[in-house]
Chain A
Amino acid sequence: MNREKKWFFLSQLIRTGREKIETMLAYTGGINELWEYPADSLYDTGAELTLDQISEYQELHDEEKINLLFEKMEGAGIRYYSREHEQFPKRLLEIADPPLGIFVKGRLPEENRPAVAIIGSRKCSVYGKEMSFFFGRELAKAGVTIVSGMALGVDGYAMRGSLAGQGGNISANLRGRNEPETGNQKWNAVTTVGVLGGGVDLCYPRENIGLYDELSKGHCILSERPLGYYPHPYDFPIRNRLISALSDVVAVIEAAEYSGTSITVERAIEQNKEVFALPGRVGDRMSDGCNFLLKNGAQVLTAPEDILQVLGVKVGKDTKNAPKASLNPEEKTVFELFQNEPLSMDDILEKSGFPLSVLPEILVRLEIKGLIRKADMAGYVKVR
């Protein structure tokens, strides 16, 4: 049995924490030695395994079983990279607690491509949703990989934005980074990485099944958990360290003051990553977390360029200011009313002074032109 499969075996141990496995590895002296080590004297390794953990170890410590699991995984189109594997993401090795190995559905992200984690609340506001999508799209356009947790709310919208933004001339925007030469063939980059708390063969949360499917085709879903593992609440903070580890910059869009997002930010600071936060209004519950971060030294995020500058990515002209569609005076008056906040029909009515019978026509025209769109239950918002 090769070393990869031995690592694969260790990754299957879901009842034993990574720290205990590290202790065992240190005691025995390496992966081969641990595999050869008699499974009935695990007590001696000093890992303080419980009976439960020992029985799991003994049960899986079987070449046939591991081979079978490995084949099954390969049959599902999922790959496993141990931390020794040459393609194992370098960024993950740079952290203090790298995973034993990762399971990947889709393709691994490019090593030398700048990456940004966009994170935030699962219960974001309309503004948070719009902003997540906007930053995801604009950064992806500029050639940045977007890393996120595929959760509901900010994560999901940022990833959708990223998928929407891919397809621009990516390599042209990169400075001093070696992109693979592909000749005439259009090089399709992995722009979006979803890091899951459970197995990569399970879509969690299942509401994001559309996103999951999209990512499995040509993008990346990764996890350190074995296949078939359903995530528990305690898995997410552990997962969050990978999100920050895989990226160069962490951008917080919207977060309440004490939330999962703050855990990711803590890990990002430990890992020496740059943290950006989108400023919000004082008193807005969903922006308390961001404002707290800003107060404590996070960088202010007001435009994608803020991040691109830190990453050293040149901003292509075409990513800014898409040509404005031609508007007639009425459409212009109405369009200019839109700021960050969604506007209801009554708001627009009051501010524009147009009669209620003609307003829908103007709005429908603006919507067809792609300048505004309908927000959930909250009237119309400006498309960014």
Chain B
Amino acid sequence: MFGKVDTSAIAGIDGRPVIAEADFGNGLPSFDMVGDLGNEVKEARERVRSALKNSGIIVPSGRLTVNLSPAHLRKSGNSFDLPIAVAILVSIGVVPQESVLDDSFIGELALDGRLRPVNGTLSHVLCARDQGKKACIVPKENVKEASVIRNIKIYGLSDLSEVLTFLLNPESFTPEDYREIDRNLPDNNLDFIDVKGQEALKRAAMIASSGMHGMLMVGPPGSGKTLTAKRIPTILPPMTEEEQIECSKIHSVAGLLDAEEGLIRMRPFRSPHHTVSGSGLIGGGAFPKPGELSLSHNGVLFLDELGEFHKQTLDLLRIPLEDQKVTVSRVNGSYTFPTRVMLVCAMNPCKCGYFPDRNKCHCSEAEVRKYLSHISKPLLDRIDMLVEVPRVSAEALSGAKEGDPSETLRERVIRAWKIQKERYMNKGILFNSQLQGGEIAKFCFLYPEERDLLKEVFEKMDLSARAHDRILKVARTIADLDGKEDISVTHLSEAVSYRSLDRKLWGGAL
């Protein structure tokens, strides 16, 4: 007898439909599995056999063949155990074929028949819905994650015998309630109020967040670079429903989703260690998994100690940052991961970290320059704002006034986002930082007074031509924060101050 059951496989971050077929017939007792299977899928044979036996289901002795189709799609992951078991149940006649036609199954089986959670539930459920399935059966632990998808019934079951009961008598089960997506920011204990002093840095962080500009902080250790970076997600506007699902999909595939929470509600903040490999950063592996860059999609990618990262690793970021997606090509297909991130970097001014404080820093100027030149120029060109972070003395810290809380800053950022959204309606972009070429001249128009100032600044301060566009984009954001239609001298001057580092450190004569 023959049985087939629908399920899905993960390719990149999306699910692709897969059919699990089982055929049972006479012959020498055997259990074979085919269909371009990864190792963990091949091992399903042992798990399924034991799980069936321990759930009280006797598989008659005979020739059993399982096929996962389409045969050309490489299957990996642990989600095929349940569909294979159900297909076998159909093939040996325990469950009628009709009762599984409208369902999709995912789940890993324990030897005793219990269902274990799987990665990528969101992608599986979305795939099942798009195939027109009416219900999706998932392990109980994954039910929170799955139930945010509309237009499909979700059943969270705990073991194989419960699945059997469900299949024989579906009416006795009620599907999980659809869970409304909570757009409010979850509580978290990070707040900008904790950053004492450093007014200039805090303002820079707000401007960068408003236009999703890349930002590089350069300053000695203990000056509050990391402290500030960690708080940037708290001033970014809450994620929309689509953004939450998109982020959660990526995290789910990578196995990083918190089962209790179900969805990622806070904009992600990822801070990979500087020893991260290229594929760890942008995604990769034999079965491509999202890297840190994609995990921070819609959020913040924070590269601390930028000077310590491998040059080759950093250079990999260049194209994904521009395209806002990364494509990983492998023998069995290419996979695309979204990478719309706000890049925030921090680094010390030199190896010991204290330059130019000569009482502490013993680095020669050549060493300082070498340390800074480690960062490739093309990457720097994708960073709009360079912020100098001075050291804060203990007395300044104790005397510093309390700054604005994240909430106040967030409101201002939300306003700036809204202005940009309206301005770039139907233009295919969302933020000032995404402006390119002719759009810059159009949206960052300068009146003669401002144009003269910029000209004078360029002559006097010896800025590179590349700095020009960056200054205009940042000036546009500052004007938006200010709620002004036109870029004024004040806005422009401030934008200039966020480029003043590169002429000194990267390309200055001294």
Q: Is B truly associated with A?
A: yes
Chain B 193-221, CB-CB to A under 8 Å as 1, else 0, gives 00001111001000000000000001100
- Assess A376 versus B504: contact at CB under 8 Å? Given A210-B509, A346-B197, A356-B199: yes
A364 touches B496 (CB 8 A): yes
Residues of B close to A364: CB separation below 8 A: 453, 457, 493, 496-497
B494: interface (CB < 8 Å): yes
B366 touches A360 (CB 8 A): no
A125 touches B358 (CB 8 A): yes
- Assess A377 versus B366: contact at CB under 8 Å? Given A346-B197, A346-B200: no
A285: interface (CB < 8 Å): yes
B365 touches A377 (CB 8 A): no
Closest-by-CB residue of B relative to A125 is: B358
Residues of B close to A286: CB separation below 8 A: 358-359
- Assess A123 versus B197: contact at CB under 8 Å? Given A285-B359, A360-B494, A378-B390: no
A377 touches B355 (CB 8 A): yes
Chain A 198-233, CB-CB to B under 8 Å as 1, else 0, gives 000000010100100000000000000000000000
Q: What is the interface residue range for chain A against chain B?
A: 35 or more
B364 touches A123 (CB 8 A): yes
How distant is A311 from chain B, measured CB to nearest CB, in Å? 28
- Cα of A133 to Cα of B296 in the assembled complex, Å: 47
Residues of A close to B503: CB separation below 8 A: 374
A284: interface (CB < 8 Å): yes
Chain B interface, >50% SS class = helix
- Cα of A278 to Cα of B356 in the assembled complex, Å: 19
A368 touches B457 (CB 8 A): yes
B365 touches A207 (CB 8 A): yes
Select the residue from A124, A157, A363, A377 with max chain B CB neighbours within 10 A: A377
How distant is B348 from chain A, measured CB to nearest CB, in Å? 10
B356 touches A126 (CB 8 A): yes
Residues of A close to B505: CB separation below 8 A: 376-377
- Cα of A289 to Cα of B457 in the assembled complex, Å: 39
How distant is A272 from chain B, measured CB to nearest CB, in Å? 32
A347: interface (CB < 8 Å): yes
B460 touches A122 (CB 8 A): no
A167: interface (CB < 8 Å): no
How distant is A309 from chain B, measured CB to nearest CB, in Å? 30
Select the residue from A128, A157, A363, A364 with max chain B CB neighbours within 10 A: A364
Residues of B close to A368: CB separation below 8 A: 453, 456-457, 460
| Interface set, chain A 80-122, CB cutoff 8 A to B | 122
Residues of A close to B65: CB separation below 8 A: none
Residues of B close to A356: CB separation below 8 A: 199-200, 203
| Interface set, chain B 361-404, CB cutoff 8 A to A | 361-366, 369, 388, 390, 392, 396
B198 touches A122 (CB 8 A): no
B497 touches A360 (CB 8 A): yes
Chain A 333-377, CB-CB to B under 8 Å as 1, else 0, gives 000000000001111011000001110110111011010001111
A237: interface (CB < 8 Å): no
Residues of A close to B510: CB separation below 8 A: 157, 160, 376
A153: interface (CB < 8 Å): yes
- Assess A360 versus B493: contact at CB under 8 Å? Given A124-B358, A377-B349: yes
Residues of B close to A346: CB separation below 8 A: 197-200, 390, 392
Closest-by-CB residue of B relative to A283 is: B359
Chain A 17-47, CB-CB to B under 8 Å as 1, else 0, gives 0000000000000000000000000000000
A152: interface (CB < 8 Å): yes
Q: What is the interface residue range for chain B against chain A?
A: 35 or more
Residues of A close to B357: CB separation below 8 A: 125
B356 touches A377 (CB 8 A): yes
Q: Which of B364, B388, B482 is close to A379, meaning CB atoms less than 8 Å apart? A: B388
Residues of B close to A205: CB separation below 8 A: 366
Closest-by-CB residue of B relative to A281 is: B359
Q: Which of A344, A358, A374 is close to B390, meaning CB atoms less than 8 Å apart? A: A344
A152 touches B493 (CB 8 A): no
Residues of B close to A378: CB separation below 8 A: 356, 388, 390
Residues of B close to A375: CB separation below 8 A: 356, 504
- Assess A123 versus B456: contact at CB under 8 Å? Given A356-B200, A361-B493: no
- Cα of A144 to Cα of B456 in the assembled complex, Å: 33
Select the residue from B363, B497, B501 with max chain A CB neighbours within 10 A: B497
How distant is B192 from chain A, measured CB to nearest CB, in Å? 14
| Interface set, chain A 277-293, CB cutoff 8 A to B | 284-286
How distant is B272 from chain A, measured CB to nearest CB, in Å? 25
How distant is A148 from chain B, measured CB to nearest CB, in Å? 16
B365 touches A153 (CB 8 A): yes
Residues of A close to B453: CB separation below 8 A: 364, 368
- Cα of A359 to Cα of B143 in the assembled complex, Å: 54
A376 touches B496 (CB 8 A): no
Residues of B close to A377: CB separation below 8 A: 218-219, 349, 355-356, 388, 501, 504-505
- Cα of A128 to Cα of B357 in the assembled complex, Å: 12
How distant is B489 from chain A, measured CB to nearest CB, in Å? 6
- Cα of A360 to Cα of B457 in the assembled complex, Å: 12
A376 touches B356 (CB 8 A): yes
- Cα of A364 to Cα of B500 in the assembled complex, Å: 10
| Interface set, chain A 249-294, CB cutoff 8 A to B | 284-286
| Interface set, chain B 459-510, CB cutoff 8 A to A | 460-461, 482, 489-490, 493-494, 496-497, 500-501, 503-505, 509-510
| Interface set, chain A 155-196, CB cutoff 8 A to B | 157, 160
Select the residue from A122, A124, A153, A357 with max chain B CB neighbours within 10 A: A357
Residues of B close to A125: CB separation below 8 A: 356-358
A349 touches B358 (CB 8 A): no
A358 touches B356 (CB 8 A): no
> Can you name 14 A-B pairs with beta carbons within 8 Å?
A124-B358, A285-B358, A286-B358, A344-B200, A346-B199, A346-B200, A357-B203, A361-B489, A361-B490, A374-B503, A375-B504, A376-B355, A376-B510, A377-B356
Known: A285-B358, A377-B356. 9 other contacts (CB 8 A): A123-B358, A123-B363, A160-B510, A284-B358, A345-B390, A361-B490, A365-B493, A376-B505, A376-B510
Query: What 7 pairs between A and B have smallest CB-CB spacing?
Result: A344-B390, A361-B493, A345-B200, A125-B358, A360-B494, A364-B493, A360-B497
